[in-house]
Amino acid sequence: MKLVLSLSFLAAGLDLASARPANLHISRNHGRDMVSSAGSHKQIRSGPVWNTQLGRREVPQEHSHEKFLTLVDQFLQMDNPDGIVSSVFGLLGNAAAAAGQGQISNTDCLQQATADRAFTNAKAAGSVEGMTGALIYRALERNTGAVGQASVPCTAIQAVNHEIAAISQHQDPASDNAAAVNKAIVLELAVQISNIGGNPLDALQSGTFAPGSIGDPTAQGNSCDDPNDPEGCIFTQNLLIEDATEDEINAAVAASGSAGAAAECTPPPPPPPDCSDAVSSALASVSAPTTAAVEASTTTTAAVETSTTASAGSSTLDFGSCSDPTIIFADGLDGRDEPAFEPHSLSDFPHGSALGIKVITDFICQQLNDKCKAPPVTIDACNSGATAAQGATGQAAADAFNTALGF
């Protein structure tokens, strides 16, 4: 018994050697989220640890996507009531992760809880970059006990943000059915990133390594782990294996109803237009280019060229310290090729565009309550407008929301 306990503590201690909060700052490079060093880093060694049941564990890889850990830590620490120590703990095995989980009750859910808190804080700050980083972090592979072993899913805690709840972590590429599992994860991740106004192709950066060999005595597989690489060694060493093609990403977003299918049917309600044919067509072949989305964008340009521009102050409702909670639907927002939704007043409601209106209505209603301090009657009207918007598409959805708020 004493030997087993000693080995357990040794495993936790060595795994924790790599678990340090990052001291980095955010920058951009070629339109992608990047991180760069803002201070020196202590050299940390990490290696395989003996596991009495599985032999040698998979070599640590928790720092392989370092730029996303840095981004998540930035937003996590803005408001961290659970006392989560650092995002790196969510990617460790449970023995080591427990030391950094703070008040989170289930270690298997630490990665989700970390992403959920960072997403909440980024959403409150109106940062699409921060929300995107939290979503990608949620999809990263966790360390497991051996090459080919899948990590345990989080089932004990429900995420506050439905975008985070929709995502699970990548699995070891040598585990059973990993290619299909990881592809499904990255396609769902792309949809959620698109819904918050981010670039869905960024989901590909959540990918993991090429499969290792089951029983590999080195336990290394094809992974890397370098805490001193601010970008992430999986990127700088070109070890990332993308789980899907760009065409598959675009088709998944279109099939979700937030892009091509939504743009293809924009007549005013009632009744809501039947988009089932558009969705079925997109689902039929996720590997085919989404020509329907392109055609839909072309045919609806005239309909959306004039966006909602309700004048602030025309409503009798009290919006607290804010003045214009309306939503526009227009082409060219954030450089998009298709029409999208966005708050009309970015000073009151700083949020990037989204292909689905729900992410925008949810944000506005939350801000009216938390930031603008609007009275309950206004919040009720906002929630009613958000519900009404779900029964329509395109400009009609924006009009339904704006009308409920008195514009």
Q: Are 130 and 198 members of one domain?
A: yes
Q: Are 200 and 318 members of one domain?
A: no
Tell me if 8 is assigned to some domain. no
CA dist 241 and 207 (Å) reads: 6
The pLDDT of residue 294 is: 36
The candidate with the shortest Cα–Cα distance to 140, out of 218, 224, 61, is 61
pLDDT at 10 over 70: no
Tell me if 293 is assigned to some domain. no
> How far is the CA of 317 from the CAs of 192, 320, 360, 375, 407, in angstroms?
32, 9, 19, 9, 10
The burial class, CB within 10 Å (0-12 / 13-18 / 19+), for 406 is middle
Q: Are 327 and 232 members of one domain?
A: no
Tell me if 299 is assigned to some domain. no
List, for residues 163-214, the tens digit of each pLDDT value. Answer: 999 999 999 888 888 899 999 999 999 999 999 999 999 999 999 888 877 7
Mean pLDDT along residues 6-13: 39
Tell me if 328 is assigned to some domain. yes
Is the pLDDT higher at 253 or at 143? 253
Per-residue confidence at 14, pLDDT binned at 50, 70, 90? very low
List, for residues 359-371, the tens digit of each pLDDT value. Answer: 789 889 988 988 8
**Cβ neighbours, 10 Å, residue 210:** 12
Length of the chain (residues): 407
Tell me if 296 is assigned to some domain. no
Residue located via tokens 């989980």: 101
Tell me if 251 is assigned to some domain. no
Largest CA distance in the chain: 75
pLDDT at 215 over 80: no
pLDDT at 265 over 60: no
Q: Are 101 and 234 members of one domain?
A: yes
Final residue belonging to a domain, choices 194, 213, 244: 244
CB 133 within 8 A of CB 68: yes
Q: Are 65 and 186 members of one domain?
A: yes
Final residue belonging to a domain, choices 244, 264, 279: 244
CA dist 171 and 185 (Å) reads: 10
The pLDDT of residue 76 is: 97
Is the pLDDT higher at 166 or at 304? 166
The pLDDT of residue 219 is: 54
Final residue belonging to a domain, choices 244, 259, 284: 244
CB 57 within 8 A of CB 144: yes
Dihedral (CA of 259, 264, 265, 268) sign = positive
pLDDT at 56 over 70: no
Q: Which residues contact 328 (CB under 8 A, 6 or more apart)?
A: 307, 308, 309, 341, 342, 343, 344, 398
Tell me if 365 is assigned to some domain. yes
Q: Are 218 and 338 members of one domain?
A: no
Q: Are 378 and 309 members of one domain?
A: yes
Question: Among 253-262, 307-316, 324-333, which range has the highest average pLDDT?
Answer: 324-333
Print the domain residue range for 330.
304-404
Tell me if 15 is assigned to some domain. no
CA dist 364 and 342 (Å) reads: 10
Q: Are 76 and 182 members of one domain?
A: yes
The pLDDT of residue 221 is: 62
Number of domains making up the chain: 2
Q: Are 63 and 198 members of one domain?
A: yes
